Amino acid sequence: MNSRPLVIGLLALLLGSPLQAAELLLDIGAESQHWNSAELLRHPQAQQIEIDHDVSYKGPMSYRAVPLAALLKGVQADEHLQLVASDGFAAELPAALVFAPGGSQAWLAIEDPDQPWPVLGVGKASAGPFYLVWQNPAASQIGPEQWPFQVVAIRKLGSVAQRFPQLLPADEASASVQAGLLQYQKHCMACHRLNGAGDSQFGPDLNVPYNPTEYFSGDFLSRYIRDPQSLRHWPQGKMPGFSLEVLNEQELAELIEYLGHMVERKVVP
């Protein structure tokens, strides 16, 4: 018996089958909510949007998306959100950025299983099934770490200071150190922990056992933050560089000053 037609038929069936609908967890109230991609694609506020400069795809993109605010019923502007990705990336996001009138517009883009998005690179998946994208990101100074992709959950949590006191500088710390903590929360915390504090499981701890200010001399740490591959080149390197547009010289100096301050405040997890 010739099995070739059967094999070809099975391959055609598999290749023609749509991807399964993905599920998003919303943990923002007394009871968790679950949305699947099919439901979100049919959401009454879903629409086609254009993103001029997509952080992940490095160019213009078009998405079927829902305003993130429409999914956050009961969340107040003074509360705090965390968006968790499938790889352990955990983006911290003040809810005020989502609700601010006249600021950047936050959208949850939904990948249609019948029309999958492009992959992010060779051997990589797409940014789906759920991806936080922004229109007019400069209005609220949205950084690249606040564009989490492959999102699986959105959670309402206490502030970073409430959840992780191990991150706090000394009470007498300078204003620039205090400002550096804010830069750390915005740019570093999505991937790293410090003193074991944080929810990300993506990158190494930045204070234990050693702080980068302890082993980068001169201006090498600032050069590394600007362009990691210029100092440590390896194909699997995932840390992005932080340009002047994302982290200006004053903000970079504040971040490094905060890291240096925390050397004397090590807490072994």
Quick one: pLDDT band at residue 237, thresholds 50, 70, 90?
A: low
Helix (H) or strand (E) holding 153: strand 151-157
pLDDT at position 19 is 54
**48 within 8 A of 62, measured Cβ to Cβ:** yes
pLDDT at 26 over 60: yes
Among candidate residues 69, 71, 73, the one with its CA nearest the CA of residue 40:
71
Provide the strand spans (E) within 55-147. Answer: 59-67, 80-85, 90-94, 105-110, 130-135
Beta-ladder partners of 24: 35
Quick one: pLDDT band at residue 20, thresholds 50, 70, 90?
A: low
pLDDT at position 56 is 95
pLDDT at 3 over 70: no
Among candidate residues 94, 87, 222, 242, the one with its CA nearest the CA of residue 156:
94
Among candidate residues 158, 152, 117, the one with its CA nearest the CA of residue 132:
152
> In the chain, what are the domains?
20-158 (3.90.420.10), 161-265 (2.60.40.420)
Give the C-alpha separation, 83 to 157, whole Å: 10
pLDDT at 11 over 90: no
- Higher confidence at residue 2 or residue 89? 89
Give the C-alpha separation, 2 to 104, whole Å: 60
Tell me the residue type at 142. Answer: I
Question: Tokens 């795809």 sit at which residue?
Answer: 57
Question: Tens digit of pLDDT for each residue in 27-80?
Answer: 998 788 999 999 999 999 999 999 999 999 999 999 999 999 999 999 999 999
pTM: 0.77
Give the C-alpha separation, 75 to 77, whole Å: 7
- Higher confidence at residue 190 or residue 109? 109
Q: Which two tokens stand for residue 7?
A: 């094999």
What percent of the chain has pLDDT above 90? 67
Question: Tens digit of pLDDT for each residue in 140-181?
Answer: 989 888 999 999 999 999 888 888 999 999 999 999 999 999
Mean of pLDDT values over 176-205: 90
Question: Tens digit of pLDDT for each residue in 106-145?
Answer: 999 999 999 999 999 888 899 999 999 999 999 998 988 8
Give the C-alpha separation, 156 to 71, whole Å: 12
- Higher confidence at residue 70 or residue 4? 70
Question: Tens digit of pLDDT for each residue in 220-233?
Answer: 999 999 988 887 77
pLDDT at 87 over 90: no
CA 221 to chain centre: 22
pLDDT at position 235 is 64
pLDDT at 9 over 70: no
